Structure 1
Amino acid sequence: MAVLERARAHAPRTPSAQGAGLVLALTATVVWSGNFVIARALHDTVPPVQTAFWRWIIALLAVAPLALPQVRRQWPVIRRHLGFPVAGYSALLRHRPEGIGGVAFLFMTFALGAAMLLPAYGVSLAAEGGFAPTAGTVGPLLYIGICSSAVAYFTWNKAIALVGAARAGVVYYLQPVCVALLSHMVLGEAVGPVQLVCTALIVVGVALGAGSRR
Protein backbone atom coordinates (compact mmCIF):
# COMPACT_ATOMS: atom_id res chain seq x y z
CA MET A 1 0.00 0.00 0.00
CA ALA A 2 2.73 2.46 0.96
CA VAL A 3 4.67 1.62 -2.21
CA LEU A 4 1.59 2.29 -4.35
CA GLU A 5 0.99 5.61 -2.56
CA ARG A 6 4.57 6.68 -3.18
CA ALA A 7 4.35 5.68 -6.82
CA ARG A 8 1.26 7.84 -7.24
CA ALA A 9 3.00 10.72 -5.47
CA HIS A 10 5.89 10.62 -7.96
CA ALA A 11 3.74 10.11 -11.07
CA PRO A 12 3.73 12.87 -13.73
CA ARG A 13 1.32 15.66 -12.78
CA THR A 14 -1.16 16.53 -15.48
CA PRO A 15 -2.68 20.04 -15.67
CA SER A 16 -6.02 18.73 -14.43
CA ALA A 17 -4.34 17.00 -11.48
CA GLN A 18 -2.41 20.17 -10.66
CA GLY A 19 -5.61 22.22 -10.79
CA ALA A 20 -7.40 19.75 -8.54
CA GLY A 21 -4.46 19.78 -6.14
CA LEU A 22 -4.51 23.57 -5.87
CA VAL A 23 -8.27 23.53 -5.25
CA LEU A 24 -7.81 20.93 -2.51
CA ALA A 25 -5.02 22.96 -0.94
CA LEU A 26 -7.24 26.04 -0.99
CA THR A 27 -10.12 24.06 0.53
CA ALA A 28 -7.93 22.90 3.40
CA THR A 29 -6.65 26.45 3.92
CA VAL A 30 -10.19 27.88 4.09
CA VAL A 31 -11.27 25.19 6.55
CA TRP A 32 -8.19 25.78 8.72
CA SER A 33 -8.86 29.52 8.64
CA GLY A 34 -12.13 28.82 10.40
CA ASN A 35 -10.05 27.80 13.43
CA PHE A 36 -9.18 31.42 14.13
CA VAL A 37 -12.82 32.48 14.02
CA ILE A 38 -13.81 29.52 16.21
CA ALA A 39 -11.04 30.32 18.70
CA ARG A 40 -12.36 33.85 19.10
CA ALA A 41 -15.90 32.56 19.56
CA LEU A 42 -14.78 30.03 22.20
CA HIS A 43 -12.33 32.30 23.99
CA ASP A 44 -14.68 33.18 26.85
CA THR A 45 -16.15 29.70 27.31
CA VAL A 46 -13.41 27.11 26.63
CA PRO A 47 -9.77 27.62 27.70
CA PRO A 48 -7.37 27.50 24.71
CA VAL A 49 -5.45 24.44 25.96
CA GLN A 50 -8.69 22.52 26.39
CA THR A 51 -9.79 23.57 22.90
CA ALA A 52 -6.54 22.22 21.44
CA PHE A 53 -6.73 18.99 23.43
CA TRP A 54 -10.32 18.19 22.43
CA ARG A 55 -9.53 19.08 18.82
CA TRP A 56 -7.04 16.20 18.63
CA ILE A 57 -9.25 13.81 20.60
CA ILE A 58 -12.22 14.42 18.28
CA ALA A 59 -9.98 14.17 15.20
CA LEU A 60 -8.55 10.91 16.54
CA LEU A 61 -12.03 9.44 16.96
CA ALA A 62 -13.08 10.68 13.52
CA VAL A 63 -10.27 8.88 11.66
CA ALA A 64 -10.14 5.83 13.94
CA PRO A 65 -12.55 3.63 11.95
CA LEU A 66 -10.39 3.96 8.84
CA ALA A 67 -7.03 4.15 10.58
CA LEU A 68 -7.08 1.42 13.22
CA PRO A 69 -6.97 -1.57 10.83
CA GLN A 70 -3.99 0.02 9.07
CA VAL A 71 -2.31 0.88 12.38
CA ARG A 72 -2.64 -2.71 13.58
CA ARG A 73 -1.14 -4.09 10.37
CA GLN A 74 1.71 -1.60 10.36
CA TRP A 75 2.37 -1.33 14.10
CA PRO A 76 5.92 -2.83 14.01
CA VAL A 77 7.00 -0.13 11.56
CA ILE A 78 5.08 2.63 13.38
CA ARG A 79 6.69 1.70 16.70
CA ARG A 80 10.16 2.20 15.22
CA HIS A 81 9.26 5.70 14.01
CA LEU A 82 7.00 7.11 16.73
CA GLY A 83 8.82 10.45 16.80
CA PHE A 84 8.50 10.99 13.06
CA PRO A 85 4.96 12.51 12.88
CA VAL A 86 5.88 15.16 15.47
CA ALA A 87 8.24 16.95 13.09
CA GLY A 88 7.29 19.30 10.22
CA TYR A 89 4.15 17.64 8.84
CA SER A 90 3.97 18.82 5.24
CA ALA A 91 7.70 18.55 4.57
CA LEU A 92 7.92 15.04 5.98
CA LEU A 93 4.63 13.70 4.63
CA ARG A 94 6.17 12.61 1.33
CA HIS A 95 9.12 11.10 3.17
CA ARG A 96 7.27 9.12 5.82
CA PRO A 97 8.89 5.78 6.62
CA GLU A 98 8.26 2.86 4.27
CA GLY A 99 5.42 0.68 5.46
CA ILE A 100 3.36 3.44 7.14
CA GLY A 101 0.21 4.33 5.20
CA GLY A 102 -1.22 7.82 5.00
CA VAL A 103 -4.22 7.15 7.25
CA ALA A 104 -2.08 5.45 9.90
CA PHE A 105 0.41 8.34 9.74
CA LEU A 106 -2.43 10.82 10.25
CA PHE A 107 -3.88 8.81 13.15
CA MET A 108 -0.52 8.65 14.94
CA THR A 109 -0.01 12.38 14.40
CA PHE A 110 -3.32 13.08 16.13
CA ALA A 111 -2.59 10.58 18.91
CA LEU A 112 0.82 12.05 19.66
CA GLY A 113 -0.59 15.58 19.56
CA ALA A 114 -3.23 14.67 22.14
CA ALA A 115 -0.68 12.83 24.30
CA MET A 116 1.69 15.81 24.36
CA LEU A 117 -1.16 18.14 25.35
CA LEU A 118 -2.44 15.87 28.12
CA PRO A 119 -0.22 17.34 30.92
CA ALA A 120 -1.14 20.90 29.93
CA TYR A 121 -4.80 19.87 29.77
CA GLY A 122 -4.60 18.55 33.32
CA VAL A 123 -3.04 21.80 34.53
CA SER A 124 -5.74 23.80 32.74
CA LEU A 125 -8.50 21.73 34.36
CA ALA A 126 -6.98 22.22 37.79
CA ALA A 127 -6.40 25.96 37.36
CA GLU A 128 -9.39 27.02 35.24
CA GLY A 129 -11.93 24.24 35.58
CA GLY A 130 -13.79 22.59 32.71
CA PHE A 131 -16.45 23.98 30.42
CA ALA A 132 -20.17 23.38 30.02
CA PRO A 133 -20.98 21.01 27.11
CA THR A 134 -23.55 23.15 25.30
CA ALA A 135 -24.35 23.60 21.62
CA GLY A 136 -22.22 26.75 21.72
CA THR A 137 -19.14 24.80 22.84
CA VAL A 138 -19.60 21.28 21.45
CA GLY A 139 -20.54 22.46 17.94
CA PRO A 140 -17.38 24.55 17.40
CA LEU A 141 -15.23 21.78 18.90
CA LEU A 142 -16.74 19.27 16.47
CA TYR A 143 -15.90 21.65 13.63
CA ILE A 144 -12.24 22.00 14.57
CA GLY A 145 -11.96 18.30 15.39
CA ILE A 146 -13.73 16.81 12.36
CA CYS A 147 -13.63 19.44 9.62
CA SER A 148 -10.50 21.40 10.48
CA SER A 149 -8.44 18.43 11.59
CA ALA A 150 -9.54 15.11 10.09
CA VAL A 151 -11.18 16.33 6.84
CA ALA A 152 -8.76 19.20 6.19
CA TYR A 153 -5.70 17.01 6.77
CA PHE A 154 -7.02 14.37 4.38
CA THR A 155 -7.60 17.14 1.83
CA TRP A 156 -4.14 18.60 2.43
CA ASN A 157 -2.49 15.20 2.06
CA LYS A 158 -4.20 14.69 -1.29
CA ALA A 159 -3.17 18.17 -2.42
CA ILE A 160 0.46 17.44 -1.60
CA ALA A 161 0.25 14.15 -3.50
CA LEU A 162 -1.05 16.02 -6.57
CA VAL A 163 1.03 19.22 -6.61
CA GLY A 164 3.82 18.70 -4.07
CA ALA A 165 4.47 20.28 -0.69
CA ALA A 166 6.04 23.43 -2.16
CA ARG A 167 3.07 24.49 -4.32
CA ALA A 168 0.54 23.50 -1.68
CA GLY A 169 2.52 25.52 0.85
CA VAL A 170 2.27 28.61 -1.34
CA VAL A 171 -1.53 28.34 -1.35
CA TYR A 172 -1.44 28.19 2.46
CA TYR A 173 -0.26 31.82 2.46
CA LEU A 174 -3.84 32.74 1.57
CA GLN A 175 -4.82 31.98 5.16
CA PRO A 176 -4.71 35.65 6.35
CA VAL A 177 -7.09 36.55 3.52
CA CYS A 178 -9.46 33.71 4.41
CA VAL A 179 -9.36 34.62 8.11
CA ALA A 180 -10.16 38.26 7.35
CA LEU A 181 -13.09 37.32 5.10
CA LEU A 182 -14.51 34.78 7.56
CA SER A 183 -14.12 37.22 10.46
CA HIS A 184 -15.97 39.86 8.46
CA MET A 185 -18.80 37.50 7.50
CA VAL A 186 -19.18 35.68 10.82
CA LEU A 187 -18.04 38.16 13.47
CA GLY A 188 -18.80 41.40 11.64
CA GLU A 189 -15.24 42.70 11.84
CA ALA A 190 -14.54 45.76 9.72
CA VAL A 191 -12.54 45.57 6.49
CA GLY A 192 -10.82 48.81 5.53
CA PRO A 193 -8.61 50.04 2.66
CA VAL A 194 -5.44 48.69 4.29
CA GLN A 195 -6.90 45.19 4.54
CA LEU A 196 -8.07 45.33 0.94
CA VAL A 197 -4.63 46.37 -0.32
CA CYS A 198 -2.94 43.63 1.73
CA THR A 199 -5.46 41.09 0.43
CA ALA A 200 -4.72 42.05 -3.17
CA LEU A 201 -0.96 41.78 -2.62
CA ILE A 202 -1.27 38.35 -1.00
CA VAL A 203 -3.55 37.00 -3.72
CA VAL A 204 -1.22 38.23 -6.49
CA GLY A 205 1.83 36.82 -4.68
CA VAL A 206 0.21 33.43 -4.17
CA ALA A 207 -0.97 33.28 -7.80
CA LEU A 208 2.53 34.03 -9.05
CA GLY A 209 4.17 31.63 -6.60
CA ALA A 210 1.79 28.74 -7.25
CA GLY A 211 2.05 29.19 -11.01
CA SER A 212 5.83 29.33 -11.05
CA ARG A 213 6.47 26.10 -9.09
CA ARG A 214 6.44 23.32 -11.63
Structure 2
Amino acid sequence: MLRPLNLLFLLVPPVFWAGNAVVGRMAAGTIPPLTLNFVRWFLALLLLLPFVWNNLKRDWPLLKKHWVLMAVTAFLSITTYNALQYLALTTSSAINITLITSAGPIFTLLIGRLFFGSQISRPATVGAIISIVGVVWVLVRGNLDNVAGIHFVPGDLFMLLAVALWALYAWVLRKRPQSISIYSAFAAQIVLGSLFAFPMMLAELSFGSYAPIYFNLKLLAILLYVVTCPALLAYICWQQAVARTGTELPMFFQNLTPIFAALLSVALLGEHPEGYHVVALVLIVLGIVLANRKQNTK
Protein backbone atom coordinates (compact mmCIF):
# COMPACT_ATOMS: atom_id res chain seq x y z
CA MET A 1 0.00 0.00 0.00
CA LEU A 2 1.30 3.43 -0.94
CA ARG A 3 2.29 5.77 1.85
CA PRO A 4 0.37 9.09 1.80
CA LEU A 5 3.53 11.12 1.08
CA ASN A 6 4.53 8.85 -1.80
CA LEU A 7 1.01 9.07 -3.22
CA LEU A 8 1.23 12.87 -3.01
CA PHE A 9 4.51 12.89 -4.95
CA LEU A 10 2.94 10.62 -7.59
CA LEU A 11 -0.22 12.69 -8.01
CA VAL A 12 1.20 16.23 -8.02
CA PRO A 13 3.04 16.02 -11.41
CA PRO A 14 0.06 14.86 -13.54
CA VAL A 15 -2.22 17.40 -11.83
CA PHE A 16 0.22 20.27 -12.49
CA TRP A 17 0.96 19.12 -16.06
CA ALA A 18 -2.76 18.91 -16.77
CA GLY A 19 -3.08 22.40 -15.35
CA ASN A 20 -0.27 23.54 -17.64
CA ALA A 21 -2.31 22.47 -20.67
CA VAL A 22 -5.44 24.17 -19.38
CA VAL A 23 -3.63 27.38 -18.41
CA GLY A 24 -1.77 27.32 -21.72
CA ARG A 25 -5.14 27.23 -23.45
CA MET A 26 -6.31 30.17 -21.31
CA ALA A 27 -3.15 32.06 -22.28
CA ALA A 28 -4.04 31.95 -25.99
CA GLY A 29 -4.71 35.54 -27.05
CA THR A 30 -3.16 36.93 -23.87
CA ILE A 31 0.53 36.24 -24.51
CA PRO A 32 2.14 34.70 -27.64
CA PRO A 33 3.13 31.03 -27.16
CA LEU A 34 6.89 31.34 -27.80
CA THR A 35 7.05 34.39 -25.56
CA LEU A 36 5.21 32.49 -22.81
CA ASN A 37 7.72 29.66 -23.10
CA PHE A 38 10.74 31.97 -22.75
CA VAL A 39 9.29 34.01 -19.88
CA ARG A 40 8.24 30.84 -18.06
CA TRP A 41 11.71 29.31 -18.07
CA PHE A 42 13.56 32.57 -17.45
CA LEU A 43 11.53 33.25 -14.31
CA ALA A 44 11.81 29.61 -13.25
CA LEU A 45 15.59 29.91 -13.51
CA LEU A 46 15.61 32.97 -11.26
CA LEU A 47 13.65 31.03 -8.63
CA LEU A 48 15.75 27.88 -8.96
CA LEU A 49 19.26 29.36 -8.97
CA PRO A 50 19.56 30.13 -5.23
CA PHE A 51 18.77 26.49 -4.41
CA VAL A 52 21.12 24.86 -6.94
CA TRP A 53 23.98 27.37 -6.99
CA ASN A 54 26.31 25.19 -4.90
CA ASN A 55 25.54 22.16 -7.10
CA LEU A 56 26.30 24.21 -10.21
CA LYS A 57 29.66 25.39 -8.83
CA ARG A 58 30.61 21.84 -7.91
CA ASP A 59 29.53 20.36 -11.26
CA TRP A 60 30.80 23.24 -13.43
CA PRO A 61 33.87 21.36 -14.81
CA LEU A 62 31.70 18.41 -15.86
CA LEU A 63 29.03 20.68 -17.33
CA LYS A 64 31.68 22.41 -19.48
CA LYS A 65 33.08 19.05 -20.57
CA HIS A 66 29.65 17.80 -21.65
CA TRP A 67 28.31 21.10 -22.97
CA VAL A 68 27.18 19.58 -26.29
CA LEU A 69 25.00 17.05 -24.48
CA MET A 70 23.59 19.81 -22.26
CA ALA A 71 22.87 21.98 -25.31
CA VAL A 72 21.09 19.21 -27.24
CA THR A 73 18.94 18.18 -24.29
CA ALA A 74 18.15 21.83 -23.53
CA PHE A 75 17.01 22.47 -27.11
CA LEU A 76 14.86 19.33 -27.25
CA SER A 77 13.15 20.00 -23.92
CA ILE A 78 13.24 23.59 -22.68
CA THR A 79 13.38 25.33 -26.06
CA THR A 80 11.07 23.25 -28.23
CA TYR A 81 8.77 21.01 -26.20
CA ASN A 82 6.82 23.61 -24.24
CA ALA A 83 7.01 26.13 -27.08
CA LEU A 84 5.29 23.61 -29.35
CA GLN A 85 2.81 22.73 -26.62
CA TYR A 86 1.79 26.35 -26.07
CA LEU A 87 1.67 26.83 -29.85
CA ALA A 88 -0.54 23.75 -30.14
CA LEU A 89 -2.93 25.08 -27.50
CA THR A 90 -3.74 28.10 -29.67
CA THR A 91 -5.75 25.85 -31.99
CA SER A 92 -6.39 22.58 -30.13
CA SER A 93 -8.10 21.73 -26.86
CA ALA A 94 -6.34 20.93 -23.60
CA ILE A 95 -7.94 17.47 -23.56
CA ASN A 96 -6.66 16.65 -27.05
CA ILE A 97 -3.16 17.86 -26.19
CA THR A 98 -2.87 15.79 -23.02
CA LEU A 99 -4.20 12.68 -24.75
CA ILE A 100 -1.56 13.00 -27.44
CA THR A 101 1.07 13.67 -24.78
CA SER A 102 0.10 10.53 -22.86
CA ALA A 103 1.36 8.46 -25.79
CA GLY A 104 4.89 9.64 -25.03
CA PRO A 105 6.10 6.26 -23.73
CA ILE A 106 5.10 4.66 -27.03
CA PHE A 107 7.04 7.26 -29.02
CA THR A 108 9.96 6.54 -26.72
CA LEU A 109 9.80 2.84 -27.59
CA LEU A 110 9.63 3.49 -31.33
CA ILE A 111 12.46 6.05 -31.40
CA GLY A 112 14.60 3.76 -29.28
CA ARG A 113 14.08 0.95 -31.76
CA LEU A 114 14.63 3.07 -34.88
CA PHE A 115 17.62 5.16 -33.81
CA PHE A 116 19.19 3.62 -30.71
CA GLY A 117 19.01 -0.11 -31.42
CA SER A 118 16.70 -0.85 -28.49
CA GLN A 119 14.70 -4.04 -28.83
CA ILE A 120 10.91 -4.01 -28.46
CA SER A 121 9.22 -7.10 -27.09
CA ARG A 122 6.08 -8.57 -28.65
CA PRO A 123 3.80 -7.14 -25.91
CA ALA A 124 5.44 -3.74 -26.42
CA THR A 125 4.85 -3.94 -30.18
CA VAL A 126 1.16 -4.74 -29.66
CA GLY A 127 0.93 -1.98 -27.05
CA ALA A 128 2.55 0.53 -29.39
CA ILE A 129 0.09 -0.26 -32.17
CA ILE A 130 -2.92 0.04 -29.84
CA SER A 131 -1.72 3.35 -28.40
CA ILE A 132 -1.02 4.77 -31.85
CA VAL A 133 -4.58 3.85 -32.83
CA GLY A 134 -5.71 5.82 -29.78
CA VAL A 135 -3.70 8.87 -30.84
CA VAL A 136 -5.04 8.62 -34.40
CA TRP A 137 -8.56 8.40 -32.96
CA VAL A 138 -7.98 11.77 -31.30
CA LEU A 139 -6.57 13.29 -34.48
CA VAL A 140 -9.57 12.24 -36.59
CA ARG A 141 -11.99 13.34 -33.84
CA GLY A 142 -13.54 9.87 -33.67
CA ASN A 143 -14.65 10.01 -37.31
CA LEU A 144 -12.88 7.78 -39.85
CA ASP A 145 -14.16 10.01 -42.64
CA ASN A 146 -11.57 12.55 -41.52
CA VAL A 147 -8.79 10.12 -42.48
CA ALA A 148 -9.60 10.55 -46.15
CA GLY A 149 -9.72 14.31 -45.80
CA ILE A 150 -6.35 14.50 -43.99
CA HIS A 151 -7.54 17.68 -42.35
CA PHE A 152 -6.16 17.89 -38.84
CA VAL A 153 -6.13 20.82 -36.44
CA PRO A 154 -2.61 22.32 -36.63
CA GLY A 155 -2.27 22.16 -32.85
CA ASP A 156 -2.56 18.37 -32.87
CA LEU A 157 0.30 18.10 -35.35
CA PHE A 158 2.43 20.53 -33.33
CA MET A 159 1.84 18.35 -30.28
CA LEU A 160 2.78 15.18 -32.16
CA LEU A 161 6.08 16.80 -33.10
CA ALA A 162 6.58 17.93 -29.49
CA VAL A 163 6.03 14.40 -28.16
CA ALA A 164 8.45 12.95 -30.71
CA LEU A 165 11.12 15.49 -29.71
CA TRP A 166 10.51 14.74 -26.02
CA ALA A 167 10.97 11.02 -26.67
CA LEU A 168 14.24 11.77 -28.45
CA TYR A 169 15.23 13.95 -25.48
CA ALA A 170 14.57 11.05 -23.11
CA TRP A 171 17.00 8.84 -25.03
CA VAL A 172 19.71 11.49 -25.34
CA LEU A 173 19.36 12.32 -21.65
CA ARG A 174 20.43 8.78 -20.77
CA LYS A 175 23.95 9.76 -21.78
CA ARG A 176 24.13 12.24 -18.88
CA PRO A 177 27.06 11.26 -16.62
CA GLN A 178 25.74 10.15 -13.24
CA SER A 179 28.38 12.33 -11.58
CA ILE A 180 26.42 15.42 -12.70
CA SER A 181 23.55 15.99 -10.28
CA ILE A 182 20.04 16.02 -11.71
CA TYR A 183 19.46 19.54 -10.41
CA SER A 184 22.68 20.92 -11.92
CA ALA A 185 21.77 19.39 -15.28
CA PHE A 186 18.24 20.80 -15.00
CA ALA A 187 19.53 24.31 -14.26
CA ALA A 188 22.07 24.11 -17.09
CA GLN A 189 19.35 23.00 -19.49
CA ILE A 190 17.15 25.93 -18.47
CA VAL A 191 20.01 28.38 -19.04
CA LEU A 192 20.87 27.00 -22.49
CA GLY A 193 17.26 26.37 -23.46
CA SER A 194 16.33 29.94 -22.57
CA LEU A 195 19.22 31.27 -24.66
CA PHE A 196 17.93 29.28 -27.65
CA ALA A 197 14.35 30.40 -26.97
CA PHE A 198 15.21 34.11 -26.74
CA PRO A 199 15.69 34.75 -30.52
CA MET A 200 12.54 32.70 -31.20
CA MET A 201 10.61 35.03 -28.89
CA LEU A 202 12.08 38.11 -30.60
CA ALA A 203 11.12 36.75 -34.03
CA GLU A 204 7.59 36.02 -32.81
CA LEU A 205 7.16 39.50 -31.37
CA SER A 206 8.61 41.13 -34.49
CA PHE A 207 6.88 39.14 -37.22
CA GLY A 208 3.97 37.36 -35.57
CA SER A 209 0.46 38.72 -35.92
CA TYR A 210 -0.30 38.69 -32.20
CA ALA A 211 -2.11 41.31 -30.18
CA PRO A 212 0.01 43.51 -27.89
CA ILE A 213 0.76 42.04 -24.47
CA TYR A 214 -1.03 43.73 -21.57
CA PHE A 215 0.16 42.87 -18.09
CA ASN A 216 -3.03 42.39 -16.13
CA LEU A 217 -4.14 40.13 -13.28
CA LYS A 218 -4.96 37.25 -15.63
CA LEU A 219 -1.51 37.26 -17.22
CA LEU A 220 0.25 37.52 -13.87
CA ALA A 221 -1.76 34.55 -12.56
CA ILE A 222 -0.88 32.53 -15.68
CA LEU A 223 2.84 33.30 -15.27
CA LEU A 224 2.78 32.54 -11.55
CA TYR A 225 1.25 29.13 -12.22
CA VAL A 226 3.37 27.99 -15.17
CA VAL A 227 6.59 29.09 -13.47
CA THR A 228 6.03 27.55 -10.05
CA CYS A 229 3.82 24.50 -10.60
CA PRO A 230 4.54 22.61 -13.87
CA ALA A 231 8.06 23.98 -14.36
CA LEU A 232 9.48 23.57 -10.84
CA LEU A 233 7.23 21.81 -8.31
CA ALA A 234 6.07 19.07 -10.69
CA TYR A 235 9.66 18.32 -11.66
CA ILE A 236 10.80 18.13 -8.03
CA CYS A 237 7.87 15.89 -7.06
CA TRP A 238 8.56 13.68 -10.08
CA GLN A 239 12.16 13.19 -8.97
CA GLN A 240 11.00 12.34 -5.46
CA ALA A 241 8.41 9.88 -6.79
CA VAL A 242 11.02 8.08 -8.91
CA ALA A 243 13.45 7.95 -5.98
CA ARG A 244 10.82 6.55 -3.61
CA THR A 245 8.81 4.19 -5.83
CA GLY A 246 11.01 3.35 -8.85
CA THR A 247 10.60 4.29 -12.50
CA GLU A 248 7.51 2.30 -13.58
CA LEU A 249 4.84 3.54 -11.14
CA PRO A 250 5.39 7.28 -11.85
CA MET A 251 5.04 6.57 -15.61
CA PHE A 252 1.63 5.00 -15.05
CA PHE A 253 0.54 7.89 -12.83
CA GLN A 254 1.64 10.27 -15.61
CA ASN A 255 -1.14 8.80 -17.74
CA LEU A 256 -3.67 10.32 -15.35
CA THR A 257 -2.85 13.69 -16.93
CA PRO A 258 -5.67 13.54 -19.55
CA ILE A 259 -8.20 12.72 -16.83
CA PHE A 260 -7.15 15.69 -14.72
CA ALA A 261 -7.07 17.85 -17.87
CA ALA A 262 -10.62 16.84 -18.69
CA LEU A 263 -11.83 17.73 -15.18
CA LEU A 264 -9.99 21.07 -15.20
CA SER A 265 -11.19 21.85 -18.73
CA VAL A 266 -14.81 21.38 -17.68
CA ALA A 267 -14.32 23.55 -14.60
CA LEU A 268 -12.22 26.35 -16.12
CA LEU A 269 -12.68 26.32 -19.90
CA GLY A 270 -16.13 24.87 -20.44
CA GLU A 271 -14.62 22.20 -22.71
CA HIS A 272 -16.49 18.94 -22.24
CA PRO A 273 -14.94 15.55 -23.15
CA GLU A 274 -16.40 13.84 -26.19
CA GLY A 275 -16.98 10.12 -26.65
CA TYR A 276 -13.89 9.79 -28.82
CA HIS A 277 -11.77 11.17 -25.98
CA VAL A 278 -12.87 8.28 -23.75
CA VAL A 279 -12.18 5.70 -26.47
CA ALA A 280 -8.77 7.21 -27.17
CA LEU A 281 -7.83 7.30 -23.48
CA VAL A 282 -8.74 3.63 -23.04
CA LEU A 283 -6.68 2.64 -26.10
CA ILE A 284 -3.65 4.71 -25.09
CA VAL A 285 -3.60 3.44 -21.50
CA LEU A 286 -4.20 -0.17 -22.63
CA GLY A 287 -1.32 0.15 -25.07
CA ILE A 288 1.02 1.52 -22.43
CA VAL A 289 0.08 -1.23 -19.96
CA LEU A 290 0.83 -3.86 -22.62
CA ALA A 291 4.05 -2.13 -23.63
CA ASN A 292 5.32 -2.28 -20.05
CA ARG A 293 4.57 -5.96 -19.58
CA LYS A 294 7.58 -8.20 -19.33
CA GLN A 295 7.52 -11.28 -21.48
CA ASN A 296 7.19 -14.46 -19.48
CA THR A 297 10.30 -16.57 -19.47
CA LYS A 298 10.07 -20.33 -19.47
Q: Is the 8 A contact 1:171 1:206 kept in 2?
A: no
Taking a change above 3 Å as real, the CA distance of residues 206 and 20 of structure 1, as seen in their structure-2 partners, is: farther
Q: TM-score, normalised by structure 2?
A: 0.57
Q: Is the 8 A contact 2:52 2:183 kept in 1?
A: yes
Partners of 1:161 and 1:78 lie apart in 2 by 23
Q: Deviations over 1:17-44 (max 9, x none)?
A: 7x75554233101101111111111101
Q: What corresponds to 2:195 in structure 1?
A: 115
Q: Mapping of 1:1-214 within 5 angstroms? A: 16=2, 21=6, 23-85=8-70, 86=73, 96-128=176-208, 131-195=213-277, 201=282, 205=286
Deviation at 1:109, TM superposition (A): 2.0
Partners of 1:163 and 1:91 lie apart in 2 by 21
Taking a change above 3 Å as real, the CA distance of residues 16 and 41 of structure 1, as seen in their structure-2 partners, is: closer
Taking a change above 3 Å as real, the CA distance of residues 83 and 32 of structure 1, as seen in their structure-2 partners, is: farther
**Which amino acid in 2 is paired with 1:151?**
L
Partners of 2:185 and 2:280 lie apart in 1 by 36
Q: What are structure 2's unaligned runs of at least 5 residues? A: 77-167
Taking a change above 3 Å as real, the CA distance of residues 90 and 60 of structure 1, as seen in their structure-2 partners, is: same
Q: Secondary structure at the match of 1:100?
A: coil
Deviation at 1:70, TM superposition (A): 1.4
Taking a change above 3 Å as real, the CA distance of residues 91 and 174 of structure 1, as seen in their structure-2 partners, is: farther
Q: Is the 8 A contact 2:34 2:204 kept in 1?
A: yes
Q: TM-score, normalised by structure 1?
A: 0.76
Partners of 2:287 and 2:241 lie apart in 1 by 16
Deviation at 1:131, TM superposition (A): 1.6
Q: Secondary structure at the match of 2:67?
A: coil
Deviation at 1:59, TM superposition (A): 1.3
Q: Deviations over 1:36-90 (max 9, x none)?
A: 1111111011001011111111111111110112101220011112243416566
Deviation at 1:167, TM superposition (A): 3.0
Q: Is the 8 A contact 1:174 1:202 kept in 2?
A: no
Taking a change above 3 Å as real, the CA distance of residues 35 and 189 of structure 1, as seen in their structure-2 partners, is: same
Q: Is the 8 A contact 1:66 1:103 kept in 2?
A: no
Identity score, percent: 27
Partners of 1:180 and 1:33 lie apart in 2 by 8
Partners of 2:221 and 2:213 lie apart in 1 by 13
**Which amino acid in 2 is paired with 1:159?**
A
Partners of 1:98 and 1:208 lie apart in 2 by 29
Partners of 2:25 and 2:175 lie apart in 1 by 35
Partners of 2:190 and 2:246 lie apart in 1 by 22
Partners of 1:90 and 1:165 lie apart in 2 by 13
Partners of 2:259 and 2:283 lie apart in 1 by 8
Q: How many residues matched?
A: 197
Q: What are structure 1's unaligned runs of at least 5 residues? A: 1-14
